[in-house]
Chain A
Amino acid sequence: MSGTTGTTGTTVAPPPAVKTRAPSRSRLTDPAVGVWLAAAGVTALGWIVVAARGGDFLTLSNVVGILQNCVALGLVAVGQTAVILTGSLDLSVAYLISLGTLVAATTMEDGSVVTAVLAVLALSAAVGLANGLIVTGLKVNAFIATLGTAFILRGWIEDNYTGPAGKVPASFQHLGYDRMGPIPVSLFLLAAVAAAMWLITRRTRFGHHLYATGGDEHAARLSGVRTRRTIIAAHVLCSLCVGAAALFLASRLGAGAPWAGTEARYDLESIAAVVLGGTVLAGGRGGVAGTLGGVLVLAVLDSVFNQLGVDPFFKNVVRGIVIIAAVAIYARRGSRRSA
């Protein structure tokens, strides 16, 4: 039917017909929309609670602080989204961040910033390539493959570095601390990376291959998608995002630190943020927009608790409950739609 309208109509009728169908299905039931609503809801709730205690939540400095706190986790989670969309997983990100900060800082100490950035990105690409090859070539489950890589990186870090190492020059610290007007520069980095990833996943052939591979790898391969290449490329993309996060953290810390990635548990936190954003762990559904919403929810929650002076350990308890509850809500919606 749509084909005939396409041939008879003089305008570009079919593409809009295809395009309008997807958004019409994804109003409020779409997790990507839901998580942004949730972020708004949490912000409003936090504002009320903090105001009731006599504080002021929505000050410029506080909002900027929340956004700044999104950057590192956001970069990792955006990368993680690409991998999870293919039905894979990356547990090596935490140690890759640590190693990335160390490599960045030590290279910057006696070399130029440009070489350091290139070195970190090259290292990241190599680790991503290794992950992808182990998953697709050796057919090791992604969970174990990337866990194995994490162990290897951890050994490398512990063998070569005993504590913080290297020094980041002042010129590079602009990335972590400067602002354009009220907006931190680092936020532009996150925005750029997220926009690039959004374009890649939604507007390129490779992006469609990501979804197809995650949705049903066998069917995708039968219909001509080179699923192995797709998975490998997704791992490389993810690791590059992680490299960007490592560069940001190095500029923020002023040095490389072996605990930079593991302290904040970027491996599990990033997966939690991705899933909170409505991306299905099994792959094939979700996207970057939802992930950013998930990161924002976690950051706002964090800020509210800080303002209220809640015990930092208690935050983890609430965080766990929020993650489980959010995913439970998606799951209920999903099952209702299929029923």
Chain B
Amino acid sequence: MSSQTAEKAQASTAAPYKRVVRSLGTGAPVYALLVILLVALASTDPGFYEPDRFLAFVKRAAPLVILAAGQYLVIVCGEFDLSVGAIVTAGVVAAAEVYGSFPDAPWPLITAGLLLAGAATGLVSGLITTRLKVPSFITTLGMMLILEGAVFFWTGGSPHGQLAEGFRQMGRGTAMGWLPWAVLACLVAGLVAVLLMRSDFGRTLIATGDSERAAALAGVRVHRARVIAFVLSGAAAALAAVLVGGFSGVSAQAGRGYEFEAITAVVLGGVVLGGGRGSVVAAMAGAFSLQALFTLLNLQGVSGALESTVQGVIVIAAVGLGAADWSRLRRRRIHSSGGRPS
């Protein structure tokens, strides 16, 4: 009786710590990395945490965070989406071309159209991947070639047209005078992603990535789950395109490289390529870490050239640390503490 209560008491004191660790899960390294980077930013630039500057940082990170959330959905069910960068480029260019012909088009209409087009692209990728059984690496690589080719073909190499000011507000404007719309969009997208992953759909998605066969036997409509993931990733990429178009304007290079950055961010968040493991919050934290890293390197005056070298080293190191087998170390610690896991 007394020993039981003692045990209970001990469990309750250990519980919060354990619960925190467990909820961090595979994402623990990325949260540590993010904290380190944010502290480093604060020490190199004391003004970094003034509200408007910090919000500007979040605003710049927003497209990547949204892309990472979309990419997470695809990766966690065991696929890839390499076409997101091309979707961003195509979205920006398409919006500019449409505004070129219809300068008075209302921005909500264009934004909705872009989101729909992004979702449709994802739908095509998803259907090709699931129905025609083409590996998603190839499907989305082909989609990337098609979209990039189409954009250049359409515009002859240099997009014309300008984005209307109303449309650009999403990327550069602020709500209530202080909160950038991009930050709001980022928060909403993140919230939607978290709620989605807590819903039944999220669980089926993870189950699909973990073991397609087991999920199918348990009654999951595996194909449908994957197609929906691709659709959401396409829509997320279109949303990112709206933000990118808003703050950096029209360019045929607008989304170049974003696909690899998004995948890097997701993997940095401890999400396993191949699916079935990792949390969406950690994936978004991965995106923030990447952006914090870029900002820090900028502040440190590291030349743009070396920036990518540092990025490469950190990504390999972080993923390597996350993948390392700590079990031996942990076992040793268990033995030293008298068989009780600490």
Measured CB to CB, the residues of A under 8 A from B are: 134, 138-141, 143-145, 147-152, 154-159, 268, 271-272, 275, 281-282, 311, 313-321, 323-324, 327-328, 331-332, 334-335
In whole Å, how far is B30's beta carbon from the nearest beta carbon of chain A? 13
A316 with B141, Cβ < 8 A, contacts A140-B319, A143-B273 known = no
Question: A73: shortest Cβ distance to chain B, in Å?
Answer: 14
Q: Which residues of B contact A319 (CB under 8 A)?
A: 145, 149
Known: A151-B309, A152-B312. Is A320-B142 also a contact (CB below 8 A)? yes
Those of B285-342 within 8 Å (CB) of chain A: 303-313, 315-316, 319-320, 323-325
Residues 146-175 of chain B: 1 if any A CB is under 8 Å from the residue's CB, otherwise 0? 101111110001000000000000000000
11 more contacts with CB within 8 A, not counting A149-B316, A316-B152, are: A134-B316, A141-B274, A143-B263, A147-B260, A148-B315, A149-B312, A152-B312, A157-B305, A275-B135, A318-B149, A323-B138
Tell me if B323 and A138 are in contact (CB < 8 A).
Answer: yes
Tell me which of B141, B308, B320 contacts A138 (CB under 8 A): B320
Is B264's beta carbon under 8 Å from chain A?
yes
Closest B residue by C-beta to A95: B308
Please state if A271 and B141 are interface contacts (CB–CB under 8 Å).
yes
Q: How far is the CA of A159 from the CA of B307 in the complex (A)?
A: 9
Cβ–Cβ contact B149 & A316, under 8 A: yes
CB contact between A151 and one of B274, B311, B319, B324 (< 8 Å): that residue: B311
> Measured between C-beta atoms, what is the minimum distance from B29 to chain A in Å?
13
B residues near A321, Cβ cutoff 8 Å:
142, 146
Task: Identify the closest chain A residue to B273 (Cβ).
Answer: A141
Q: In the complex, what distance in Å separates the CA atom of A195 from the CA atom of B323?
A: 37
Which of chain A's residues have a CB closer than 8 A to the CB of B149?
Answer: 313-320
- Please report whether the interface of chain B is mostly helix, strand, loop or mixed according to DSSP: helix
Q: A86 vs B312: C-alpha distance in the bound complex, in angstroms?
A: 23
Contact A314 B323 (CB under 8 A): no
The answer to whether B138 and A275 have CB atoms under 8 Å apart is yes
Q: How far is the CB of A240 from chain B (nearest CB, A)?
A: 22
Interface status of B20 (Cβ within 8 A of chain A): no
Q: Which of A143, A149, A316 contacts B145 (CB 8 A)?
A: A316
Report the separation of the CA atoms of residues A144 and B150 in the bound assembly, to the nearest whole angstrom. 28
B residues near A268, Cβ cutoff 8 Å: 141, 144
**Contact between A314 and B153, CB atoms less than 8 A apart:** yes
**Given the known A-B contacts A151-B308, A155-B307, A281-B135, are A320 and B316 also in contact in the complex, defined by CB atoms under 8 Å?**
no
Closest to B155 in A: A313
**Shortest Cβ gap from A45 to chain B (Å):** 20
**Known contacts A152-B313, A317-B150; A331 and B133 CB within 8 A of each other:** yes
In the complex with contacts A159-B305, A320-B143, A327-B315 CB distance below 8 A: no
Q: How far is the CA of A334 from the CA of B135 in the complex (A)?
A: 13
